[in-house]
Structure 1
Amino acid sequence: MSFQALGLNSQLVDAVTELGFNTPTPVQQQAIPQVLEGHDIMAGAQTGTGKTAAFALPMLHRLLETENTDKKANAIRALVLTPTRELAQQVYDSVVSYSKNVPVKVAVAYGGTSMGLQVKVLKAGVDILIATPGRLLDHAFVGTVDLSRVECLVLDEADRMLDMGFLVDIKRIMKRMPAQRQTLFFSATFSKQVKTLAYAILNEPKLIEVTPANSAADSVEQIVYPVDKHRKRELLSHLIGARNWHQVLIFTKTKQGSDALAKELSLDGIKAVSINGDKSQGARQRALSEFKDGKVRALVATDVAARGLDIEQLGFVVNYDMPFKAEDYVHRIGRTGRAGLTGRAISLMSHDEEWALRAIEELLDNRLPQEWLEGYEPDPTLAPVDNRRSSILEKRRAKAKSKIHKNRGRRLR
């Protein structure tokens, strides 16, 4: 099947052909016809399978087919909401490349960059706006963007937006939009909370799942290395150095942890940079550019970067810290093995993270292979986290009971 066979505008087909895309991916084959027919959809597919084109191409087609009768300069016709700046920029770049042959104006708005420059662009007139919820509301409050004429709304990675606390912002945005519109949900995972929100705002949506929900791509080889927590950095440096890994994306749980690990890797002779929510947008973009260009060997990131990083031929993703939410594991390892290429996902698991592995395996409905590396075997005398937690809880309960009894005794006296 070709993009032309899906019924897309010939100029859009020419654009994707010039980009080297000739055959639609499964999610594109299923979603594009449904969007062209005007249906609301809820589509789930693994990262790297072409979700952006699956909503952007038919959205552009419909805008071209419908004459814009609204002459208000700040009234946009289509809105794409994303949870992170990186994903907003990635979607923007893709939509611009798809629309280069057609008279459609595209803009992006997110925090960490000049509000003034964005205001200037929006006042000049925009058809499609890609934005993060917070910055979009900033523009809506000051009147630089009008959402009352939106014909199509896309929520990209809706589950992550809910995880990041954007539900209230999303509801505020919805109130400013017309009830009669097309709404599209796209994500690699769908939690119960997301499905509840989706069915509350979608109109008889078409459900599209090209792969089992919450699954990892077959192109990604996964392995878990049990190791004591204090030896994780040592093992990571050994793996990168001894196996000559390049372009390694490493995930940590905290911002401070990402900065500290990047410094420690650099001391080990492995050039590394970090990217997290505390960094300015300029610093984040510089770090990402250096990583993509091969100037640094490792990029250490928090989950803020799990959605929106599109790095060609990224070979390795390392979970230095196991993710708190099992769904984030799917998004993390989805940064590799993209566009038909193969990749490796390595998880360094300490005793106190065994619960996270169980949650991931339950989500994937699959056991992940484990391997002890010689010289880095975990100390079997360390108590599992569950036992330690039980012991701590028992001590706390005993202390609380003792306090209650003492207070009762005082009252009786």
Structure 2
Amino acid sequence: MSFTSLGLLPELQQTLHHLDYRQPTLVQQQAIPAILAGRDLLASAATGSGKTAAFALPLLQRLAGQHERAALILVPTRELAEQVADACTAYARNLDLACVAVYGGVPLAEQVETLSDGCDLLVATPGRLLDLLANEILDLSAIDHVVLDEADRLLALGFARELATIGEQLPDHCQRLLFSATFPPAIRRLAQDWLRQPLEISATPHNRPAPKIKQWVVPVDKKRKPGLLLFMLRDRGWRQALIFVKSRKGADDLVTYLRGKELAADALHGERDQETRREVLAAFRERRVDLLVATDVAARGLDIDDLPLVINFDLPLAAEDYVHRIGRSGRAGASGTAVSLVCADEAPQLAAIERLLQRRLSREEEPGFEPRHELPQAAPVKPGKPTKTADFHGRPAAAGKTPGHPGGIKRARPGPAARPGAPGNKLTGRTTTGGRPRGR
């Protein structure tokens, strides 16, 4: 199947050819026609399977020539917001559509200025979007399409109430799309509240990593993990690796250790400001840094071409996060490697991961690093209930909201941000001519 057969505009097909997109992935084959037809969608696909293009391409097509309408994409992290916005901007290069990303961690005034001319497609983290709504910077009444991207992560990070509040401000007629790499029960409940008679698609089995990722576990005592990591990096000649730890302090401590061994390493976590995080990611992509030590803030939204190796220095607390971590490798059908250094204290997390995967991960001890505290033998893996994640509390209002009116995603008049509900600060719609570069 080719992109031509999916009914995309010639302008989008030209862009895909320029980007060297030759054939649609499975999720793109299933999602693009359904979104073009206006269906609500519940979609499950593995990380790296092309989810962003699956919803961005048809949304851009539906928005083309309709500047009075707009689309909203909600994502869990700053990194993912930037990644999705960059992808949408690339896809829209031949269309007169503007894409903007807003997220926390940067001054609000900067993003208000970016939004001064309005936009057609807004990518936002829930907290920052609510800031803009509370200050009457944005108006969602003209939103025609809304996407929850990495919906399971949105719930796991505690955004349930924010989603409910945002949902109450969206017009009833919105097309609603829910994309997630994992499908815990909480996502089913969210879908029941959020979507209307959705088409359900699944490009891969639920909660399964890409099939070409080789995975195994190395049992080791907790105190010997740094030495084992160093030994394996040198013994196997591993050059580039994304290493996951459970805490910010753990990331900084491990980077200090690795640098002390003359290895090029840096840390990525929530205490680093956004500009520093951009610089660290750029250095890792460009191979100026070989080892990136990250907390789960980077488990979603990191898109690194041909990343060969993911190392779990610490296992994640939530089994679903294991899938996302190792999914940074083996993207778009490529092969990859994922190795986990596991101490006896982490046996419950390992058991939860194996239940989720419905398979045992092989244990391979390293000579000289055999643990004193042995990892318990795994029980037979049987299909069971997935590990519990955050639930969705509150549902978007189904009726009684004011119908949307034209005007795109709009902002308040220039000047100081207004108090919520302050009189005399009505929102004005942007015009569709002048003031905004074409194809931004």
Instruction: Tell me whether the two structures share a fold, i.e. TM-score over 0.5.
Output: yes
Q: Does 2:8 match 1:8?
A: yes
- Picking from 177, 188, 192, the partner of 2:170 is 177
Which whole-Å CA distance do the structure 2 matches of 1:354 and 1:368 have between them? 12
- Picking from 332, 335, 340, the partner of 1:339 is 332
SS at match of 2:27: helix
Contact 2:269 2:295 in 1 (8 A): yes
Contact 1:237 1:270 in 2 (8 A): no
Contact 2:78 2:103 in 1 (8 A): yes
1:408 is matched with which residue?
Answer: none
Q: Does 2:56 match 1:56?
A: yes
2:201 is matched with which residue?
Answer: 208
Letter in 1 for 2:8: L
Q: Please state how far the C-alpha of 1:383 moved relative to its aligned partner.
A: 8.8
Which whole-Å CA distance do the structure 1 matches of 2:261 and 2:121 have between them? 46
1:405 is matched with which residue?
Answer: none
2:39 is matched with which residue?
Answer: 39
Which whole-Å CA distance do the structure 2 matches of 1:56 and 1:177 have between them? 19
Alignment of 1:359-374 (within 5 A): 359-374=352-367
Which whole-Å CA distance do the structure 1 matches of 2:147 and 2:230 have between them? 41
Which whole-Å CA distance do the structure 2 matches of 1:259 and 1:185 have between them? 35
Which whole-Å CA distance do the structure 2 matches of 1:115 and 1:189 have between them? 32
Q: Please state how far the C-alpha of 1:384 moved relative to its aligned partner.
A: 6.2
Q: Please state how far the C-alpha of 1:286 moved relative to its aligned partner.
A: 1.1
1:159 is matched with which residue?
Answer: 152
Alignment of 1:219-258 (within 5 A): 219-258=212-251
TM-score (norm 2): 0.84
Gaps of 5+ in 1: 71-75, 386-413
Which whole-Å CA distance do the structure 1 matches of 2:318 and 2:375 have between them? 23
Which whole-Å CA distance do the structure 2 matches of 1:117 and 1:354 have between them? 46
Which whole-Å CA distance do the structure 1 matches of 2:11 and 2:108 have between them? 33
SS at match of 2:143: coil
With over 3 angstroms needed to count, the CA separation of the structure-2 counterparts of 1:31 and 1:322, relative to structure 1, is same
Alignment of 1:368-383 (within 5 A): 368-380=361-373
Contact 1:86 1:308 in 2 (8 A): yes
Q: Does 2:295 match 1:302?
A: yes
Contact 1:313 1:341 in 2 (8 A): yes
Q: Please state how far the C-alpha of 1:114 moved relative to its aligned partner.
A: 2.8
Which whole-Å CA distance do the structure 2 matches of 1:191 and 1:340 have between them? 24
Contact 1:3 1:13 in 2 (8 A): yes
Q: Please state how far the C-alpha of 1:121 moved relative to its aligned partner.
A: 2.1
Contact 1:82 1:88 in 2 (8 A): yes
2:142 is matched with which residue?
Answer: 149
2:19 is matched with which residue?
Answer: 19
Q: Does 2:250 match 1:263?
A: no
SS at match of 2:297: helix
SS at match of 1:324: coil
Letter in 1 for 2:308: G
- Picking from 299, 316, 324, the partner of 2:317 is 324
SS at match of 2:332: coil
Which whole-Å CA distance do the structure 2 matches of 1:258 and 1:326 have between them? 20
Contact 2:347 2:375 in 1 (8 A): no
Alignment of 1:83-102 (within 5 A): 83-102=76-95
Letter in 1 for 2:63: L
Contact 2:100 2:122 in 1 (8 A): yes
With over 3 angstroms needed to count, the CA separation of the structure-2 counterparts of 1:383 and 1:207, relative to structure 1, is closer
Which whole-Å CA distance do the structure 2 matches of 1:110 and 1:139 have between them? 10
Which whole-Å CA distance do the structure 2 matches of 1:95 and 1:227 have between them? 43
Letter in 2 for 1:188: A
Gaps of 5+ in 2: 378-440
Which whole-Å CA distance do the structure 1 matches of 2:92 and 2:212 have between them? 30
Summarize deviations over 1:369-402 as a string: whole Å, max 9, x none.
110111111115x6969xxxxxxxxxxxxxxxxx
Which whole-Å CA distance do the structure 2 matches of 1:117 and 1:210 have between them? 38
Q: Does 2:99 match 1:106?
A: yes
Q: Please state how far the C-alpha of 1:340 moved relative to its aligned partner.
A: 2.0
TM-score (norm 1): 0.89
Contact 2:243 2:291 in 1 (8 A): yes
Summarize deviations over 1:305-332 as a string: whole Å, max 9, x none.
0000000110000000011111000000
SS at match of 2:137: coil
- Among the aligned pairs, what percent are the same residue? 47
Contact 2:73 2:122 in 1 (8 A): yes
Q: Please state how far the C-alpha of 1:143 moved relative to its aligned partner.
A: 1.5
Letter in 1 for 2:284: F
1:406 is matched with which residue?
Answer: none
Contact 2:100 2:123 in 1 (8 A): yes
- Picking from 255, 267, 275, the partner of 1:282 is 275
Which whole-Å CA distance do the structure 2 matches of 1:321 and 1:78 have between them? 38
Summarize deviations over 1:11-47 as a string: whole Å, max 9, x none.
0111111001010000000111111110000110111
Which whole-Å CA distance do the structure 2 matches of 1:376 and 1:55 have between them? 47
Summarize deviations over 1:110-169 as a string: whole Å, max 9, x none.
111232221122121211000101111111111111111110000000111111111111
Structure 1 moving runs of 4+ over 4 Å? 382-385
- Of Structure 1 and Structure 2, the greater helix share is in 1
Contact 1:311 1:335 in 2 (8 A): yes
Which whole-Å CA distance do the structure 2 matches of 1:370 and 1:235 have between them? 15
Which whole-Å CA distance do the structure 2 matches of 1:46 and 1:342 have between them? 14
Which whole-Å CA distance do the structure 2 matches of 1:100 and 1:383 have between them? 53
